[in-house]
Structure 1
Amino acid sequence: MAVFVALGAFLMTLFGGWTAQRVTDRRHLVLGLAGGLMLGVVGLDLLPEAMHAAGEEIFGVPQALLLFVGGFLVAHLVERLLAVRQASHGADPKESVPHGRDPAATTEARTADATDRANGADTAPVAANGGRVPQVGLTAAAAMVGHSVMDGIALGAAFQIGGGMGAAVALAVIAHDFADGFNTYTITSLYGNDRRKALTMLVADAVAPVVGAASTLLFTLPEEVLGSYLGFFGGALLYLAAAEILPEAHHEHPARSTVLCTILGVCFIWLVVGAAG
């Protein structure tokens, strides 16, 4: 039964990605909605579940909260490290020279980098979309895929407990997999990855809950491990929403409609969580 329900999550994920793809002419609204959906998933779904499942305290702080902060910091460090690596191989020529830096030195560095490329030296790909590094988008999308696998595992575990619990979790998984598909496609594209890569990650995210649900036929995941993962993933997801997606949504279109889309995204997840509870 769990695998059958996971097929519904598969279709809902694809529908979320299709929706994100079709509204590219309203990109700021897409990003505003995606940020709201991610914020809602973290604050109203992932973190409460993590606190419930992995509530043991370490030096007076719940383990889930420590992992939540850890996930936020790891996401920040990964992005910074990739950005520094890209910058060390040459910045975007359209970028302005930072204050206090010698323009001649900057030109010299770019000339040296061009020479390295001509000689076949290994260099990192230039970041797209205002300095964003494509690998960050792929890493974030891969984390979304991992989260979807855990969705499937949670779904299978719920049906092992009983039909009522399985139905409640199924409603939550299927409904918020729309947000997963929407966010997976959006965040992959946001960092400058092409449409083919975004669609590949979307399909992987759609298949993931089916794989997770099928795996529960072979083993049972300890509740504490599941809670720990949810806390860590929630912190990483919050970083992407707050530090990347929402600022980008308001960069060129600081309209009230964008804020409204963010609020609607949060309210949608609130309704999903409330209906499942």
Structure 2
Amino acid sequence: MAVIVALGAFLMTLAGGWTAQRVTDRRHLVLGLAGGLMLGVVGLDLLPEAMHAAGGEVFGVPLALLLFVGGFLVAHVVERLLAVRQAAHGAANNGAATTPDGHGHGHGHGPGGGRVPQVGLTAAAAMVGHSVADGVALGAAFQVGGGMGAAVALAVVTHDFADGFNTYTLTRLYGNARRRALMMLFADAVAPVVGAASTLLFTLPEEPLGAYLGFFGGALLYLAAAEILPEAHHRHPALSTLMCTVGGVAGIWLVVGLAD
């Protein structure tokens, strides 16, 4: 049953990626929505689940929160290292980054403002890893019982639309070609099916899953707060962009509430 539900997640992921690539003339709205969806997934879904599952404290701080902060810092360090490496090889496009809609701008994180494509690929790969975990969580929930499986299925299938949306957007945001973005989108779509199928072979311990969710939540928060949202408001600091962000958070809140 978990694998069948994961096929629904596969289709929803592709639908999210298709939506992201079709609205190039409203890119600031796409990015605003993507940032809101990511913020909602982290704050209302991943982190609460991590806090519940990881358990234990380290020097008075819950392990999930330590890993959450660690994920944020690792994402920041990885981006900085990749940017420095790009600078050393002189591949920063002379200060003009290429965006998904084909326009260059000077707002970025390489020398002179150039975006680093590897950061987008790394972020998209992390999204794929998260989608595998989604599938594993889905399979594990069905191991517990049908009611739990149905609740998790609703959350996974619905927010995989956001995963597909964000995977394509992140890859293209950093100057990667459309073909690469589509490859990462397809990998993200297949990932929950692979994760769900893997649970036919083993029973997943709760604490490692919670620890992973905490770490990944921190990385996603960094991308949303330091990359996606500033980019969304860079050229279009409009109320409509802000409303898209708020709407993204509210949408995830609705999904989480219905799943519970």
Moved over 3 A (4+): 127-130
- Between Structure 1 and Structure 2, how many residues are aligned? 247
Q: Deviation of residue 89 (structure 1)?
A: 2.3
Give 2:103's aligned residue.
none
Aligned position for 2:16:
16
Match of 2:84 in 1: 84
1:65-104 to 2 correspondences below 5 Å: 65-90=65-90, 91-94=92-95
1:73 aligned partner, one-letter code: L
Cα RMSD between the aligned structures? 1.5
Q: Distance in 2 between matches of 1:22 and 1:236?
A: 27
Provide the TM-score with structure 1 as the length reference.
0.87
Give per-residue Cα distances to partners, 1:109-143, cap 9 Å, x unaligned: xxxxxxxxxxxxxxxxxx69941100000000000
Map 1:35-114 onto structure 2 (within 5 A): 35-90=35-90, 91-94=92-95
Q: Aligned to 1:48, what secondary structure does the other structure show?
A: helix
- For the 8 Å contact 1:129–1:190, the answer to whether it is kept is no
Amino acid at match of 1:39: L
CA offset digits 1:47-105 (Å, max 9, x no partner): 0000000121000000000000000000000000010111122254347xxxxxxxxxx
Q: Provide TM-score, normalisation by structure 2.
A: 0.93
Per the alignment, residue 115 of structure 1 pairs with none
Query: Which residue matches 1:112?
Result: none
2:94·2:112 contact (CA, 8 Å) conserved in 1? Answer: no
For the residues of structure 2 that align with 1:133 and 1:41, how far apart are their CA atoms?
25
Return the letter of the residue paired with 1:160: Q
CA–CA distance in 2 between the matches of 1:44 and 1:129?
36
* C-alpha distance in 2 between matches for 1:143 and 1:274: 26
Equivalent residues in 2 for 1:186-225 (5 A)? Answer: 186-225=169-208
Question: Which ranges of structure 2 fall in alignment gaps of 5 or more residues?
Answer: 97-109
Partner of 1:30: 30
Give the greater-gyration-radius structure (CA): 1
Task: Give the Cα separation in 2 of the matches to 1:58 and 1:224.
Answer: 14
Listed as ranges, the gaps of 5+ residues in structure 1 are 96-126
Fraction of identical pairs, as percent: 85
Residue 35 of structure 2 aligns to a residue in which SS? Answer: helix
